[in-house]
Structure 1
Amino acid sequence: MNPINQKEERIIVRGLKSKTTRFVAIIASGLLLALGLNVAPANAVTEMAVSLSISRVGPLSDSAATISMFLPTNQFDGQGYLDNGARIEVRFFGDDTFSDDFLGGPFTFSKFSNPHLVATPEGITGNATIHPASHFFDEDSASSCTLCDGVDEVYAEFLWIDGAGSKIKRVSRVVKGQF
């Protein structure tokens, strides 16, 4: 073999190595992309179930509100939401014909509050009993309202806020009673 042919052979081999390397890199990138697409994405929280009950606990119109919150997701993602600052804010309103009176709140529940939100295999849950000041839920006091019947209609607004600022709002059913 003459020296010129040896040079050409080296160049061709180098060219093949270069093309082979590129080909392998393209195949590897494609495989990584395909594998990456098969990784399960985080379960976005899109639903929230809420409940409210109010009971009288004392003779001076002292009342207690029991609230429950549930957001379906897996435990891993639920814990991730809580670790990254997700919270639920609860506000109470009096249900009236023309405008709803703001009664109080927000009462904030998170991983760090007491009681706190917890990630379980079924989702994120939270349960609490709130003991507000006397007459907190007395939104239709018969003594201060000539058109009122003295029956209070109260509901709670639950606002889920995740660490990125995304929000879900749900409203409880209206609870009626003399609070």
Structure 2
Amino acid sequence: MAYITRLDVDAYGSLDAPDDVWPRDVTQHNWMSGDRYPQIEGTIPFSWEPGDKRQTPDAFWYPQMRDWVLSGSAYQAMTGVASQDLHLIARGALDGNPLYLVQAPTVLDVIDRERSIIDRYPTYEILRFPVLPRSAAPLVAERIFRVPGSATIIVIGEAVRQAIEDSASTGFNFVPVEWSDG
């Protein structure tokens, strides 16, 4: 199995940080290409706007970033399985607790383009919902990756999801990816 990961913003809220921590405009970074965002020195002082649960999650939504801010337990769970697929941009803190601002820069071209939902325009395409061929299952089992054509879809393999669940990390929603026989 593989899963699209989404952060449960309504339930867990979002983070904020001072604008001056960024070495360059995050809106100008090409998040679809796999380019790594520059590392940030020091510790980012985060603040948190709670969601409906009013419970601090282990995976936070941070609107300036496309990826994740993780607690220590979530970071360890994910890097324990797929360290090659996470780029540590910065360390942060929330109420004295360490946080890790990470990017998932790995791009794996493993989609079944015929069965995936793709919006096609004259000069570009946007992948809306990927379908993976079953033949890719062994390749993606222990990976965290993006798929070509989407800046926001991040897919994790079964071993990564299991590590997150085993660590009791909160904040993620997992949407199973559809598989094709291709």
Bin of the TM-score, shorter chain as denominator length: under 0.3
The structure with the larger Rg is 1
Q: TM-score, normalised by structure 2?
A: 0.21
Larger relative contact order (Cα-Cα within 8 Å, sequence gap ≥ 6): 2
